[in-house]
Structure 1
Amino acid sequence: KIFAVIAHRRFHSKQGLFPKWKFTFDAEQEMYICPAGQGLKYRTTDRKGYQQYASDPEQCKSCPFLNQCTQSKNHRKVVTRHVWEDSKDWVRNNRLSKSGKQLYRKRKETIERSFADAKELHGFRYCRLRGLPNVREQALMTAAVQNMKKMAIHLDHREKRG
């Protein structure tokens, strides 16, 4: 029951081609519907968890949107959907909600500030030693110091309140 608000990365489609959001997913039929109304049927799932939905090249040859849809020589459009896409949509809707926007604004005050303090005050900008175990140790020591400082500040505030 966690209200997840996670940053997003904007992936841009090729210039002049329809972006993925122009294709609507029909969960009942488990297929994508293209802007021309043709169905892209499930084809396979790769090892990274991406399901591929492909169009019928025979129908795409005569489509008026072919140049805006794909540059494929065999006239086939392939749209990918991750197996966790439903969860990604849920997080995306959280981020775009009013409470999600308010929570995301606090990121710069909490998370980003913590990284900035680690870099500026605790030598996190450069690793002092080489090797993964040594770098991991430095990161854990830095995190421990930051947590101790937070606890000290919290206890001080609590003591002043009485």
Structure 2
Amino acid sequence: MQAGCDSKHKLFINNDTGRVNDTHALSPMTLDAKELLKVEGMKVLTDKGYTTGKYIEICIKNNITTFSSPKAHSSQNNGLFDMQIFQYDKQQDLYRCPANQLLKTNGTIYNKNKHKVKHYKNRQACKSCELRDKCTKNKNGRFIERSIYQEALEENQKRVASNPEYYKLRQQITEHQFGTLKRQWGFTYTIMKGKENVLSEVNLMMICYNLRRLMSIFSLNTLKNKLKELDLYFLRKWESFYVNLTAFPLKPKPLKMQTILN
């Protein structure tokens, strides 16, 4: 279950479910929240499960600033040169290795686990390199996989690193709500099955949570007045819908014998 919450009042904004993990949920969730809140731009804090370059870039293009916890690179802690010490030249689209050799790409974009990457290598230089034992165990020499969204990932990493206190707010914003639902209210699983039914059940719980939070944010009389205004808003919506429905009544379809028998 993914959920969006606001940082000021700690209220649930939106939710979704149906995927095994959070990898593909960042931009769909944030764009949905932005539309619901009717804001021009926003900042979003997430854990590393949501950190995917493609969706970070989509957020940036839609005026959404991400602070997603960076994922550790696979080459770390293996005793070999970390990818971070290879200097990337954006203009020439190549890497310079610790031995001052250039790793180039042929421009081909490969699909790896649903991620689009480019390969950078220099097999000829690796054959006679004195630093090879410290760099790679690959018989063909060192090569680097760079996501086509690597720039968006690096900019996100810089934002998180330069705003450590801001990123820590994430635990204060979302963990408390889920802690209340699961620990205090015992909502650790859903009774319903199927995405639509499950979301309906979860929405009811989150509405109850938000109403309880509103009792702490507003005075009781203020909350009553706001709920009355909301009731009038939906009543006018229904009246407008009912007038349109009666003005253009739908013709009932004839029943089929199979329907009657069932």
TM class, shorter-length: 0.7 to 0.9
The residue matched to 2:192 in structure 1 has which SS?
coil
1:91 aligns with 2:153: no
Query: C-alpha separation between the residues in 1 aligned to 2:104 and 2:161?
Result: 30
Look up the match of 1:78.
143
2:92 aligns with one of 11, 29, 53:
29
Counterpart contact for 1:124–1:139, Cα < 8 Å:
no
Residue 157 of structure 1, CA deviation: 8.7
Describe the superposition over 1:47-67 as per-residue Cα deviations: whole angstroms up to 9, x where unpaired: 334322332212111001111
Query: C-alpha separation between the residues in 2 aligned to 1:81 and 1:157?
Result: 55
Query: C-alpha separation between the residues in 1 aligned to 2:151 and 2:71?
Result: 17
Matched residue type, 1:9: K
2:109 aligns with one of 36, 45, 50:
45
Matched residue type, 2:146: R
Query: C-alpha separation between the residues in 2 aligned to 1:32 and 1:54?
Result: 7
Counterpart contact for 1:36–1:65, Cα < 8 Å:
yes
Rate the CA distance shift 1:38–1:132 in 2: closer, same or farther, 3 A: same
The runs of at least 4 aligned residues of structure 1 exceeding 4 Å deviation read none
Matched residue type, 2:109: T
Rate the CA distance shift 1:39–1:138 in 2: closer, same or farther, 3 A: farther
Query: C-alpha separation between the residues in 1 aligned to 2:172 and 2:82?
Result: 34
1:118 aligns with one of 181, 185, 191:
181
Counterpart contact for 2:105–2:121, Cα < 8 Å:
no
Q: Where do 1:1-162 residues align within 5 Å? A: 2=43, 3-13=65-75, 15-43=78-106, 44-47=108-111, 48-75=114-141, 77-97=142-162, 100-156=163-219
Unaligned stretches of 5+ residues in structure 2: 1-40, 44-64, 223-262
Query: C-alpha separation between the residues in 2 aligned to 1:121 and 1:152?
Result: 18
Look up the match of 2:257.
none
Matched residue type, 2:84: W
Matched residue type, 2:66: A
Query: C-alpha separation between the residues in 2 aligned to 1:91 and 1:158?
Result: 44
Counterpart contact for 1:32–1:53, Cα < 8 Å:
no
Query: C-alpha separation between the residues in 2 aligned to 1:41 and 1:157?
Result: 66
Percent identity over the alignment is 24
Residue 68 of structure 1, CA deviation: 1.8
Unaligned stretches of 5+ residues in structure 1: none
Query: C-alpha separation between the residues in 1 aligned to 2:71 and 2:176?
Result: 21
Greater CA drift, 118-127 or 51-60: 118-127
Query: C-alpha separation between the residues in 2 aligned to 1:147 and 1:74?
Result: 58
Counterpart contact for 1:129–1:135, Cα < 8 Å:
yes
Query: C-alpha separation between the residues in 1 aligned to 2:209 and 2:110?
Result: 41
